[in-house]
Amino acid sequence: MWSQVEQALNQSAARVITGFVSLLPGLVALIVALLISSLLAWVVGVVMRRSLRGIDFDGMLARWGWSGVSGVSSAQSPTLVVSRLVSWSIVFLGFLIGVAAFDATLTSRLVGQLLAYLPNALAAILLLLAGNVVARFLARSVLIGAVNMNLQYAGLLSMGVKWLVLVLTTAMVLNHLGVGGKIVDEAFTILFGGIVLALALAVGLGAKDLVSRSLERQASRAAEETEEPFHHL
Amino acid sequence: MAETDVIAKETKERIERVGAADIVIGLPACGSADALHLAVEYAGAALPAIADGLKAVVLYPDSVLPASGAETEPANPAAALQLVPVPWLPPDRLPSVAQKESNAFQEVFRVSQKVAARACCVWNSVADRITPAAVRGLLEPILARDLDLAVARYTRPKFGGLIISSIVYPLARALYGRRIYDPMSADLGFSPRFVEILLQPSPQTGRPRALEWIPIQAVSAGLKICQVNLGLHPAPAQETADLSSVLVQVLGPLFLDVERNAPLWQKARGSQSVPTFGEEVPMSEERGAGDVQRMLDTFQLGYRNLQEIWGVVLPPATLLELKKLTRTAPEQFRLPDDVWARIVYDFALGHRQRAISRDHLLRAMTPLYLAWVVSYALEVRDAPAQQTNDRLERLALAYETQKPYLLSRWRWPDRFNP
């Protein structure tokens, strides 16, 4: 009986060791792939950082109205964000190559799904970038315009425009990524409809006196302006 | 003669019939037949006073008179005066900065070259303000004194032409070293030498020159300039465009010019007056400053909301000065000249660096400009004309004093940030 137990133990130990040994090359391949991709990511990251700094990427983005990107990405410059994004993508690619050493079919399935999703993800990123730029540009335009028109609620107006565009962008991005399904559409419709209805009610019922007073003030101001002695040209 | 091909076909035919002429007078802003009749009458009266036997061509927009042409044109008061219609578009309200006017200048210059004129003048402000003295004033320095550019100078009311008084004149004077009181003047006289230069492509771009800030172009070409006193400024048209748009339209091209001419103005030191002809009409003795509270409110609102944008171009020291201003009682509200000069220089630099969208940058300057207007209005509201002129002279000197600040920031924008 003891010999049978010993034989069973030997067999199971041999199976475990054989299994482990069969995993070892894959594991080593994963570690090597990760090491090489990390090294490559570091090199590419450094080159990218220097190149982007060379072309004043941060300045370019700022000029396009993207000056507040640091606020979105934990106080880092856009150059750092982009170079780290590229570096981590390379590391992730290395990881996928390493995983392929274990099970090629699993990886090919994973990669296939990822590639199919990639256009959506890229389009979503572009949408997010464009939305952010448009939101900031419009917010700044509205702020300057409202200040020059002497509207006391200029800041509020500008912030409202900014968040309106950002919310719209987020809804579009989520829709594009297929996250949340119809909930996003419905939530957005309700939110937007609610805001418009609330404004309509506020102006129509609650604030009609305020609006009429404001319009009267504007009208009398316009009449006064014609008599101003100041000429700028 | 590829250049003359640009002249409209009908105009070209008329010009060929005219042959040679001594003078070309362009009236691109002429808006009615009556104004044209008057302008022609005055131009005809002015010519014999300049010299005997002068032959002149008067160019006017073809929209002024019906298409039937010669029969309806005004009676020619002097045999030597030839009228030629030109297909000009209606004039833009802003002088010298619109492309339309640039095209009008081009047309006058090409005709002037074609007829080998010894002088030409463009009358771009309201045509019914033209007088024999004005025509003579713009042409005589060119014909008799061998000068290259005659710039009309008008006396403005105390609170008129404020962008010119507060920014355009002192900036151009400090940078280019010539005291030309109205660098935006729309009424100008040209020598053939200057016409030839203006028709040459821009050396920087190789494209036709933008014909704006012509006095500055004359300075950069090293030509002889004079200004001619032509009395009180024509009553300003009601400003329909909002102030921030006006600032964009005026300061945008001005700052671009500052950028283009950086090598020139970095060498210039101090300023010199230019020969001035004609008697200066004193400024009217108007009193009171109107209501400045609204402008003050806009500045205060701007300070509360536009800090982020101003902070991009203005150094901390200037922001601190502005902060102090916001806490000043309205009656004591004064924007120091040196601070204002530095603000304008900083915006010129910000415009060059494209720190933010140029349109946003210039529009964001509106509350600061209004702060200057308030400060000036409160300071000179009860001052006589001479004191007001002295006040503006002090401002121009402040621009000159602060020019090293601009030079430092222009050359080392990152290192020099007080």
Whether residues A140 and B297 touch (CB distance < 8 A) is answered with no
Q: What mean pLDDT is predicted for residues B181-195? A: 90
Question: How many CB pairs lie under 8 A apart between chains A and B?
Answer: 93
What pLDDT does B104 receive?
A: 80
What pLDDT does B371 receive?
A: 95
Whether residues B163 and A232 touch (CB distance < 8 A) is answered with yes
Say how many Å lie between the first and final Cα of chain B, rounded: 55
CA distance A41 to A36: 8
Model ipTM? 0.82
* Helix, strand, or coil (residue B152): strand
Q: What mean pLDDT is predicted for residues A191-213? A: 73
B339 touches chain A (CB under 8 A): no
Interface of A with B in 64-93 (CB under 8 A): 65, 67
Is B352 in contact with B255 (CB distance < 8 Å)? yes
Whether residues A229 and B159 touch (CB distance < 8 A) is answered with yes
Q: What mean pLDDT is predicted for residues A96-100? A: 80
The answer on pLDDT for A87 being more than 80 is: yes
Integer Rg of chain B from CA: 22
Question: Please, which pLDDT band fits residue A73 given cuts at 50, 70 and 90?
Answer: very low
Secondary structure, 3-state, B230-244: EEECCCCCCCCCCHH
B293 touches chain A (CB under 8 A): no
Whether residues A143 and B305 touch (CB distance < 8 A) is answered with yes
A3 touches chain B (CB under 8 A): no
What pLDDT does A222 receive?
A: 60
A232 touches chain B (CB under 8 A): yes
Is B250 in contact with B184 (CB distance < 8 Å)? yes
Query: B234 vs B271, which has greater pLDDT?
Result: B271
Query: B158 vs B344, which has greater pLDDT?
Result: B344
Question: Please, which pLDDT band fits residue A108 given cuts at 50, 70 and 90?
Answer: confident
Query: B195 vs A110, which has greater pLDDT?
Result: B195
What pLDDT does A106 receive?
A: 72
The answer on pLDDT for A92 being more than 80 is: yes
Report yes or no on whether pTM surpasses 0.80: no
Question: Please, which pLDDT band fits residue B94 given cuts at 50, 70 and 90?
Answer: very low
Domains of chain B: 9-235+271-277 (3.90.550.10), 292-416 (no CATH)
Nearest to B239 among A145, A150, A231 (CB): A231
Query: A19 vs B358, which has greater pLDDT?
Result: B358
Q: At what angle do helices B366-380 and B385-401 cross, to 10 degrees?
A: 140
Q: What mean pLDDT is predicted for residues A174-184? A: 80
The answer on pLDDT for A226 being more than 60 is: no
The answer on pLDDT for B33 being more than 80 is: yes
Chain B residues close to A151, C-beta within 8 Å: 301
Whether residues B294 and A141 touch (CB distance < 8 A) is answered with no
Estimate to the nearest angstrom the gap between the alpha carbon of A197 and the chain centroid: 30
B378 touches chain A (CB under 8 A): no
The answer on pLDDT for B100 being more than 80 is: no
Q: What mean pLDDT is predicted for residues A170-187? A: 82
Is B398 in contact with B338 (CB distance < 8 Å)? yes
The answer on pLDDT for A43 being more than 90 is: yes
Q: Which residues of B143-182 are buried (b: 16+ CB within 10 A; e: fewer)?
A: beeebbbbbbbbbbbbbbbbbbbbbbbbbbbbbbbbbbbb
Chain B residues close to A228, C-beta within 8 Å: 290-291
What pLDDT does B297 receive?
A: 92
* Position B19, amino acid: G
What pLDDT does B344 receive?
A: 96
Query: B95 vs A48, which has greater pLDDT?
Result: A48
Whether residues A154 and B354 touch (CB distance < 8 A) is answered with no
The answer on pLDDT for A74 being more than 70 is: no
Q: What residues have CB less than 8 Å from B19, skipping those under 6 apart?
A: B115
Chain A residues close to B158, C-beta within 8 Å: 229
Instruction: Pick the residue from chain B with its C-alpha nearest to A68.
Output: B308
Whether residues B356 and A221 touch (CB distance < 8 A) is answered with no
Nearest to A233 among B163, B354, B366 (CB): B163
What pLDDT does B320 receive?
A: 94
Estimate to the nearest angstrom the gap between the alpha carbon of B195 and the chain centroid: 18
Whether residues B309 and A224 touch (CB distance < 8 A) is answered with no
The answer on pLDDT for B211 being more than 70 is: yes
Q: What mean pLDDT is predicted for residues B80-98? A: 65
Which of the 8 DSSP states describes residue A206?
I
Query: B101 vs B333, which has greater pLDDT?
Result: B333
Query: A58 vs B370, which has greater pLDDT?
Result: B370
Q: What mean pLDDT is predicted for residues B39-53? A: 83
Choose among B177, B172, B164: nearest CA to B233.
B164
Q: CA of B65 to nearest chain A CA: how many angstroms apart? A: 30
Q: What mean pLDDT is predicted for residues A217-228? A: 61
Kind and range of the H or E element at B50?
helix B33-50
Least confident of B6-15, B114-123, B272-281, B334-343: B6-15
Q: What mean pLDDT is predicted for residues A109-125? A: 81
Q: What mean pLDDT is predicted for residues B169-179? A: 93
* Helix, strand, or coil (residue B276): strand
Question: Please, which pLDDT band fits residue A120 given cuts at 50, 70 and 90?
Answer: confident
What pLDDT does B90 receive?
A: 57
CA distance B124 to B39: 12
Least confident of A45-49, B122-126, B149-153: B122-126
Chain A residues close to B94, C-beta within 8 Å: 233
What pLDDT does B404 receive?
A: 93
